Structures are given as structure tokens and as C-alpha cells.
Amino acid sequence: MARRLHPSLPSCRLLAVSDKVEPRIYGPSIKRVAGQVAFIVGCGDLPYYYLEYIVSMLNRPFYYVHGNHDRPEYRSNKSVIKEPLGGVNLHRRLYRSEGILMAGLEGSHRYNANQHYQYTQGEMWGHVLSLAPTLLLNRLIYGRYLDLLVTHSPPCGIHDATDRPHIGFRAFLALMRWFKPRYLLHGHQHVYNNLATTQTRYYHTDVINVYPFKVLDLDFSPAD
Ligand SMILES: [Zn+2]
């Protein structure tokens, strides 16, 4: 049914960034490294000045979620920036851009008393369920629930770790099984060697760790 309603789901190239300021991106080589991208995705834990630099250099739409280390930034003119300028915060929001249905879920597993961008497994279940009505509406209108899920943390058991800050969220697994996003892009889990797994198929979803950046050619046709 979904294929008949939408015979030519879009494919596109995007730049996704997370967790580490990367010199190849934060400098004049960014246009050569990124090429022509349809939009930019931020998976959290990056300074806002870095994200704003990327947006200003590439001049493309920017969608992001916060990571557990994100904090307000103090600028030289004494202003305080609580969000990167020029972007759309996807947390608990459904957004349609370039024909792609996207949503986001910020933060990490709770590991201390800090109020910002940390959640228990139960709280993340609440965030996922809050998206459900709009996802169901997407299915009625567009023939599919979701194309792209942007998160900071990985799902439980996929690219995650056993220490409390890096335990993945179980609710993401259910979201992928129920709503079949074609891709889940996350950060949070730093990658220090080339042998680490950074892309894993889970049912209909390719889960990709974008740390510290990835230029991705994504095909949003439904997976088998
Ligand atoms: Zn993090």
C-alpha cells in the first residue's frame, strides 16, 4: 500500500554531526567534504557556534536534538544562546522537509541529578508515546509513519554500552518495530577505532552512529 501511494520516495544526501568538533568540518574544507547536501542533522553534544558555522557555510536547513552535555552558550556581546541559531529542534516533534518525515528524541540515559537532557527509561517511553498520534496520522496522510528518527543516544543493545550514561533506550526499539523509520541517526557513543560497528539493521531501520560526522546518501524507499 505504501509503495502504491508513494511510488517515488525521495533519496537525498545529508551531513550528520555529533559529539566532537571536527576540523574538516569546522574550516574552509567543509564545502568540499560535505558536497551538495539537502539538509544538516545534529545529533547533540556539540557547541552551538560550531553548528551555526555549518549552517552558515552550507546554507541548508538544519534539524537537531540536544545531547546530555548541551548547555547555554555565552557570546561576546553578553547574550546567552540556549539553542543553536537557524535550526529546528526536533525533540518530540514531527517535521516534514524535502518530502521526508522526520522526528527527534534528545538526551541520554539519566546518570546524575542534572535536569538537562537526561531521561529514565520510563520518561523516554513517555516521549515516544507522545509522538504516536502524529505518527499514526502520517500513516493515514502519507502512507508511512516516519522516514528518519534523529536521536542523541542509541537504542538499547545497538551501539550502546553498559555504563549508565551510555545505556541505550528500550523505547527506541519499540518505536522502530511499530513505526518503521527507514533510518535512525544517533551520536553519544564515541568511536575510537575503525573496527567498531556504526551501522546496524534492526527490522526495517538502519541504525547509524554518525560520530563525529557522516555524509550520508540515504534512500528512503521502504526496506525489505
Ligand atoms: Zn552524549
pTM more than 0.85? yes
**Rounded distance between C-alpha atoms, residue 4 and residue 15, angstroms:** 30
Please give the torsion angle defined by the CA atoms of residues 129, 133, 138 and 139, in that order, rounded to the nearest 10 degrees.
Answer: 90
Report pLDDT digits (tens) over 10-61.
Answer: 789 999 999 999 999 999 999 999 999 999 999 999 999 999 999 999 999 9
For residue 2, tell me if it sits in a domain.
no
Report pLDDT digits (tens) over 179-212.
Answer: 999 999 999 999 998 889 999 999 999 999 999 9
CA–centroid distance, residue 117 to ligand 1 (Å): 9
For residue 4, tell me if it sits in a domain.
no
CA–centroid distance, residue 109 to ligand 1 (Å): 9
CA–centroid distance, residue 33 to ligand 1 (Å): 24
Report pLDDT digits (tens) over 119-165.
Answer: 999 999 999 999 999 999 999 999 999 999 999 999 999 999 999 99
**Rounded distance between C-alpha atoms, residue 172 and residue 122, angstroms:** 12
For residue 7, tell me if it sits in a domain.
no
Instruction: Determine the structural domain holding residue 155 and report its residue range.
Output: 12-219
The pLDDT value given to residue 3: 40
CA–centroid distance, residue 69 to ligand 1 (Å): 6
Residue 1 pLDDT more than 50?
A: no
Q: Considering its fold, how many domains does the chain have in total?
A: 1
Residue 2 pLDDT more than 50?
A: no
Beta strands in the chain (DSSP E): 11-17, 39-42, 62-64, 73-74, 80-81, 88-89, 94-97, 100-105, 108-109, 118-119, 148-151, 183-186, 199-202, 205-209, 213-219
Grade residue 78 by pLDDT with cuts at 50, 70 and 90. confident
The pLDDT value given to residue 224: 66
**Rounded distance between C-alpha atoms, residue 22 and residue 28, angstroms:** 12
For residue 65, tell me if it sits in a domain.
yes
CA–centroid distance, residue 26 to ligand 1 (Å): 20
Backbone dihedral region of 109: left (phi > 0), alpha (psi from -120 to 50 degrees) or beta?
beta
Mean pLDDT over 54-83 rounds to 94
For residue 1, tell me if it sits in a domain.
no
The pLDDT value given to residue 127: 98
For residue 31, tell me if it sits in a domain.
yes
Residues with CB under 5 A from ligand 1 (ion): 45, 67-68, 188
The pLDDT value given to residue 8: 57
CATH number assigned to the domain comprising residue 108:
3.60.21.10
For residue 125, tell me if it sits in a domain.
yes
For residue 77, tell me if it sits in a domain.
yes
**Rounded distance between C-alpha atoms, residue 191 and residue 175, angstroms:** 25
